[in-house]
Homo-oligomer: A and B are copies of this chain.
Amino acid sequence: MHVLITGGAGFLGLQLARLLLKRGTLEIDGKPAAISGLTLLDVIAPPPLDDARVRVVTGDLSDPAVLAQAIDARTGAVFHLAAVVSGQAEADFDLGMRVNLDAARALLETCRALHQRHGQRPRVVFTSSVAVYGGALPAVVQDDTALNPQSSYGAQKAIGELLLSDYSRRGFVDGRVLRLPTISVRPGKPNAAASSFASGILREPLAGEAANCPVAPDTPLWLLSPRGAIAALVRGMEIDGAAFGERRTLNLPGLSVTPAQMVAALRRVAGDAMADRVTWQREARIENIVGTWPAAWNTARALALGFQGDESFDAVIRAYMEDAGIGKA
């Protein structure tokens, strides 16, 4: 079976690729299916992965020729991760629409054509976001709480969810939508996501730098570690599509924590010097987006389907330090 990862040079895409290559299989319909090919599609080139199964397609997902190159009759599983993140989609409306909506749809259309030609229905894992929610929310968000996005990114993800559901209902693809919590601690550089600080206030201090928290210390965030996110993507691909029942959309388990609690965890795990590098200058542009995201979630459905969250934010910081090789003698 061939696997495609769009956004394969991105943060989650690359980690997922590494895990899939190490595993070598995906369990499909109760049987391990060997991953004979892994295509990474992205506008930027990934670092070399040194594996004969890997094929790199560098190009724009919204270009039909690029898509045609990335998907063929052997493609059985698609992780659709390519996206323009929240801050950027708000700043550049057209770019967000082109990538988050049009390219997602073009991807589904390519799968549909495959189905019509070869009778084959690829599994498609689509990563949505808590940004599909907003406005007045119930105390605890449910999988079937009404969407009310307050950002263009959230609106585009919500539209992607509807498309994936309808394409699945019609049998064009076998889709699964995972609403990811904010991923933290994300390695590397700050990005244009409004939630970028949710990694920055840990990552930068641990690298010896100052970092600003642009939202109130008691702002509730809903977080998942990179390891947890990758495990969830794999689980989302492996479970039986029918197990989703009438909704192809799932809120993933996460940790509800505030920046104050995150910095307290940093203090416990890595010491005062680290925690004291965080400054607290609020920025309206970020607060306007992040402040509409909910904090308390009922993820019973995901838990019943075998998805897991993180144990504690202290453990998340420790795992990040381990992966980043920080604190080793």
Q: Contacts A135-B246, A246-B135, A247-B135 known; A166 to B149 CB distance under 8 Å?
A: yes
Interchain CA distance A145-B150 in the complex, whole Å: 17
On whether the beta carbons of A145 and B146 are closer than 8 Å, the reply is yes
On whether the beta carbons of B149 and A162 are closer than 8 Å, the reply is yes
| Complex partner residue of A136 from B136, B148, B246, CB under 8 angstroms | B246
Binds B, one of A61-69, A74-82, A152-160, A305-313: A152-160
On whether the beta carbons of B155 and A166 are closer than 8 Å, the reply is yes
> Of all chain B residues, which has the CB nearest A157?
B162
On whether the beta carbons of A163 and B152 are closer than 8 Å, the reply is no
Interchain CA distance A166-B136 in the complex, whole Å: 17
Interchain CA distance A166-B147 in the complex, whole Å: 12
Q: Mark A118-161, 1 if CB is under 8 A from B, else 0.
A: 00000000000000001110000000111111101001001100
On whether the beta carbons of A150 and B170 are closer than 8 Å, the reply is no
Chain B residue contacts of A155, Cβ below 8 A:
162-163, 165-166
Chain B residue contacts of A246, Cβ below 8 A:
134-136, 148
Interchain CA distance A159-B159 in the complex, whole Å: 6
Q: Mark A75-96, 1 if CB is under 8 A from B, else 0.
A: 0000000000000000001000
| Complex partner residue of A146 from B93, B136, B147, B150, CB under 8 angstroms | B147
**Interface flag for A53 (CB, 8 Å):** no
**Interface flag for A169 (CB, 8 Å):** yes
Instruction: State the copy count for this chain.
Output: 2
Chain B residue contacts of A163, Cβ below 8 A:
155, 159
Interchain CA distance A162-B155 in the complex, whole Å: 6
| Complex partner residue of A247 from B148, B152, B162, CB under 8 angstroms | B148
Q: Contacts A135-B246, A144-B146, A146-B145 known; A162 to B158 CB distance under 8 Å?
A: yes
How distant is A323 from chain B, measured CB to nearest CB, in Å?
A: 37
On whether the beta carbons of A93 and B150 are closer than 8 Å, the reply is no
How distant is A254 from chain B, measured CB to nearest CB, in Å?
A: 20
Q: Contacts A93-B170, A165-B155 known; A146 to B146 CB distance under 8 Å?
A: yes
Chain B residue contacts of A152, Cβ below 8 A:
166, 170
> Of all chain B residues, which has the CB nearest A150?
B169
Residues A149-195 near B (CB distance < 8 A): 149-150, 152, 155, 158-159, 162-163, 165-166, 169-170
How distant is A98 from chain B, measured CB to nearest CB, in Å?
A: 12
Pairs A–B under 8 Å by Cβ, sample size 21: A93-B170, A134-B246, A135-B247, A136-B144, A145-B146, A146-B146, A146-B147, A147-B147, A147-B162, A148-B246, A148-B247, A149-B162, A149-B165, A149-B166, A152-B170, A155-B162, A155-B165, A158-B162, A159-B159, A159-B163, A162-B162
10 nearest CB pairs, A to B: A155-B166, A135-B246, A144-B146, A146-B146, A155-B162, A159-B159, A158-B162, A159-B162, A152-B166, A145-B146
